Structure 1
Amino acid sequence: MKADRRTALGLGAAAIAVAGGGLAYALNHEAPLPPGALGGADMARGHRLRDGGFPAPSSEEEVDLVIAGGGVAGLSAGWRLTDAGFSNFKLLELEDAVGGNARCGRNAVSAYPLGAHYLPVANREAKALRHLLRQLGVIIGDADGVPVYDPVQLCADLQERLFWQGRWQEGLIPRTGLTRRDREDLAAFDAQMKRFSSYVGTDGKPAFAVPMAYSSQEPHLRALDGQSFAEWLDAQGWHSPVLRAHVRYAMRDDYGTEPQHVSAWAGIHYFAGRRGWAANGAGENELTWPEGNGRLVGQLAGFFPGKIARGHIVHRVTREGDRVLVDSFDVAANRTVRTRARAAILAMPHFIATRVCPELGDAKAFSYAPWLIANVTVDHLPGGRGVPLAWDNVSSTSDSLGYVVATHQGPAAISEKTVLTWYLPLSNMEPAAARRLLVERSADEWKRIVRDDLLALHPELDGAIGAIELWRWGHAMIRPTPGFLDRGTTHQPAPPLFLAHSDLSGLSLFEEAHYHGVRAAEGAMTLLRHAHESLL
């Protein structure tokens, strides 16, 4: 979520449609396609985990604590343990690279994200996150007790632009072509979101917080989770197509999900939950790097590099007395290793956790959004009528979410060559059908979709696209459908097992994964009687 997206954004009719697996090519789709690989999460390993048949353990090892999963939550757990001086742990990761959907790639032009690409300035309540950001040199001081952020790591101007009525304009709020009804509904919506943002419950907590665990538990607020965001908007009488397009964009941007499938609580949280606490007016900004949140996961892993075992498929987690047995298949050695531990943190999506640890029940109530990401290398910067190129560039005439510019930050911004990271959530299909489409549609077809979408905005890039690298996320993020507030709390196991993943929040945000990683690490250390001062 970017700062301007908390205010009104009107989007015109979509130029492309993914529903039903079809898409109209606006340009000549017979033109030669640029080179580029089709990548994604390791489906072969994932399917092997699904199908089972792993060999029995051929060796054993012992450790105080195992972390199963090397996404943001697992890495945050490892960071917290290391920060507290706890060293007898091991992290097992299925993939050859850690980071989950915050991973990144690199080519000769630039590093670039393969998913998550920014982190908003932290809320006051995000104490553990601020502690991390200070260690990483992102927060560099204080001004009258308020955090000061490194300006180099804050998003530089121009931050955002919108293609609207044939021109690029600064920001994501349309300024022309609005009806009286549009303006009235947009103003009423904005005023209501500001009221939600400033409201403090009788329990002394903000109505909507980040991390969401610090949100008020007042019943009338939690009751919002019983309906969809679209239903809530209907009840307010707000039917402006410009407002509805704005809401749709926002829900697809953060949740990969259409408004009619998003909980009203989660929808409002998008607009009312961010209150960045920073000096010099930086609270509305976000942190970003060429590789996106790949910068953060790389730094987290750097705190304990010798304790990470990549290419280990955790396929069975059971209890034995007061111990936990974790069986993992070492892909390189082609054997199963059994790790005996005093505690274990399952830092993995819930649909995987329930497969490897059946005592957790099932994950039928959890739903995941599929995405396609494309990193497009171009020989010169995009242009267009109106304001110049921004970090985030959104079109009102496309069903994609536009693109971010990898070289926007730092000295590389002056380079003519760049990488454009293009995003498409397949939200207007049932998730299972969208996952099949991700697999069945050929790389060439996806490349045509990406190329034609960019060339519809930027005809000047015709002949300048050097490569299109595709990345598929079948289970990119948890979908906060109605009723999600209770789902994460009903699946918590008894110690010495701990869960840590953004799934538990129902919001696939860095802050939520970090919170759950820290919470699980602190719970495990308390169980193991390791002295530490809580950051939560």
Structure 2
Amino acid sequence: MLPDALEGGWVGQLAERGHAWRDGRWRPGGRIVFTRRVHTLVVGGGIAGLAAARVLQDNGLDDLAVLDLDDEPGGHSRGHVLMGQPCPLGAHYLPVPGEDAHEVAQWLESQGLIRRQQGRWVGDERYLCHSPQERLFMPDTDPGVGATVGAYWPGHWQEGLLPAGANTHRQHERFMQQARQLRQALGFAMPTVRKPWNAGLAALDAITFDQWLDQQGLDDPGLRWALDYACRDDYGAGSARVSAWAGLQYFVSRHEGDESADALLTWPDGNAWLVRRLAQGLGDRWHPATVALAVTPGRREVVVDSWSVRRNRPERWIARRVVMAVPLMVGHRLLAAPPAPLAAVQPLWRQAPWLVSNLALREPLIERQGAPLSWDNVAYTRQGPAALAEPSLGYVNARHQSLAPAPQDAPVVLTHYWALGGRDVKDEQRHRGLLWSQPWHWWAQNVVDDLARVHPDLPGKLLRIDLMRWGHAMAIPTPGLRGHPALAALADGEAARQSRLHWAHSDLSAYSVFEEAFTHGVRAARQVLRIEGPPQRMAWGRPRDTA
């Protein structure tokens, strides 16, 4: 049970404001008391929108504005401060980029985060994930049968997230060999636009990851658990829902399947640290708590009606160009006459709900036998509590990356992640409904129960829990989505020239990671610059010469 006087609650305003727009409580039209003209308007202040704004400014286009419904920039990369300690509310790491992520790598280099060494990108030691990086709690019995609170202990922690076992490791090596061969034969890249889509990739995109694994005879329970966990971690839903292309993309898209090369950049507050760097210099061009209501393209300009939450009034923006850095589901609702590609892809669209919980503890937890407290800490289990279809993703030690010693009275902060895409659409919808309908105490109890299975002393040490609910956190790359021609059509420069709308969101890659969002933001901004003509003065964001 939760402590009687536990403090905490929901943080963020995304759900309330999104639902107010969805339900028509804020409507376009009526008496407009504020109208402003800008050259380029960016709708959406996540990674794609911020990257677009940054490129436009760095290339001399200062007449712009960025609208976002939240109070802080960053989208799913926002951060939080819990009892004085920084912690993430969403995305919490970025792998050192591979060779295909030109735009991301050059920006990270400009920020002093990575450097070129012996032909590879190498991260600054201050920002690389400190050791020990990850561990897995292994119960003495298989938790897939009759798992209950307390059933996990006694048990032990092992290094790494692949369950120990000779057959598990044999099949894992066979899986990685097959994945590397497919990369060589078909081409996997991060971001995905770096390699052409082909029939082989389309065949993988047509079936689920589970179906592909079955075809390969990869049936070891430990391996299948690890691969399912990887899908839930990156896509919000497991291997039964995502395509085989997505399942393989996770492992071979960055560094040709060389796992040792996947060094991680991370900070106490996760990718919010990067957001602050991206948003520098926006100043009064950043317009928080501004909800876009309708986007109406015209022959010479685009009209965007919005609602200012802070001023409690409708407002109108008129721009020559609009960067649509919003999820495609949102974009479809903003346009009275959505373009044909946007309408065509909607039936395939599914988005995973997430819960991110930050817990403050009065003192460290009692450690179990085995590997010590790591940055990422996961329990090996195949089922969640009775109310939920999904096991959690475990927790991150938010202070793991702190270089300065914590004050003596500083709390221990753990960030617990729950991807709630479920096993099917019904699970996904039910979990999304529970996020909205159940009070924060109900969710807090589930989080505490989940952690207490490994750490039975946690409830007595809990001081506060702040929870962030993401009803539509990320696109689930279900079969057929990545290869749908609508995604390429929406990113097309000539279509953007005609419509004055430049689509920029990770949804255009069918899944949500930093590299995809950033690259689409840069591409959309460069489309604007090519059409409108300001001189390009900065080199980052363009591929380096390879001669």
TM-score, normalised with respect to structure 1: 0.88
Structure 1 counterpart of 2:401? 409
Cα separation, 2, equivalents of 1:298 and 1:276: 31
Structure 2 counterpart of 1:453? 450
- 2:428 matched to 1:434? no
CA contact (8 A) 1:67 1:92 kept: yes
Deviates more, 1:496-505 or 1:235-244: 235-244
Structure 1 counterpart of 2:324? 346
Structure 2 counterpart of 1:357? 335
- 2:232 matched to 1:272? no
Which of 456, 478, 481 is the equivalent residue of 1:481?
478
- 2:496 matched to 1:494? yes
5 Å-filtered alignment, 1:23-102, equals 29=1, 32=4, 34-52=6-24, 53-56=27-30, 57-102=32-77
Cα separation, 1, equivalents of 2:305 and 2:160: 50
One-letter amino acid of the counterpart of residue 385, structure 1: Q
Which of 369, 378, 383 is the equivalent residue of 1:385?
369
5 Å-filtered alignment, 1:298-337, equals 298-337=276-315
Structure 1 counterpart of 2:510? 506
CA contact (8 A) 1:121 1:277 kept: no
- 2:376 matched to 1:396? no
Post-superposition offset of 1:435: 1.0
Count of equivalent residues: 496
One-letter amino acid of the counterpart of residue 409, structure 1: Q
Percent identical: 37
CA contact (8 A) 1:33 1:448 kept: no
Structure 1 counterpart of 2:135? 161
Deviates more, 1:250-259 or 1:325-334: 325-334
Post-superposition offset of 1:31: 5.2
Cα separation, 2, equivalents of 1:162 and 1:442: 30
Structure 2 counterpart of 1:221? 201
- 2:125 matched to 1:125? no
In structure 2, relative to structure 1, the CA distance for the partners of 1:293 and 1:36 (3 Å cut) is: same
CA contact (8 A) 1:122 1:276 kept: no
SS of the aligned residue for 1:522 comes to helix
Deviates more, 1:517-526 or 1:298-307: 298-307
Cα separation, 2, equivalents of 1:502 and 1:413: 37
CA contact (8 A) 1:248 1:259 kept: yes
Q: Give the superposed CA RMSD.
A: 2.2
Cα separation, 2, equivalents of 1:338 and 1:462: 50
SS of the aligned residue for 1:49 comes to helix
Post-superposition offset of 1:298: 1.5
5 Å-filtered alignment, 1:85-234, equals 85-139=60-114, 141-165=115-139, 166-176=155-165, 180=167, 182-197=168-183, 199=184, 201=186, 207-234=187-214
Cα separation, 1, equivalents of 2:318 and 2:296: 10
Cα separation, 2, equivalents of 1:124 and 1:277: 13
Cα separation, 1, equivalents of 2:80 and 2:292: 25
Structure 2 counterpart of 1:25? none
Cα separation, 1, equivalents of 2:10 and 2:287: 25
Post-superposition offset of 1:339: 1.7
Post-superposition offset of 1:174: 2.3
Unaligned runs of 5+ in 2: 140-154, 385-390
One-letter amino acid of the counterpart of residue 43, structure 1: A
Post-superposition offset of 1:284: 2.2
Cα separation, 1, equivalents of 2:9 and 2:316: 36
In structure 2, relative to structure 1, the CA distance for the partners of 1:259 and 1:66 (3 Å cut) is: same
SS of the aligned residue for 2:240 comes to helix
Unaligned runs of 5+ in 1: 1-28, 202-206
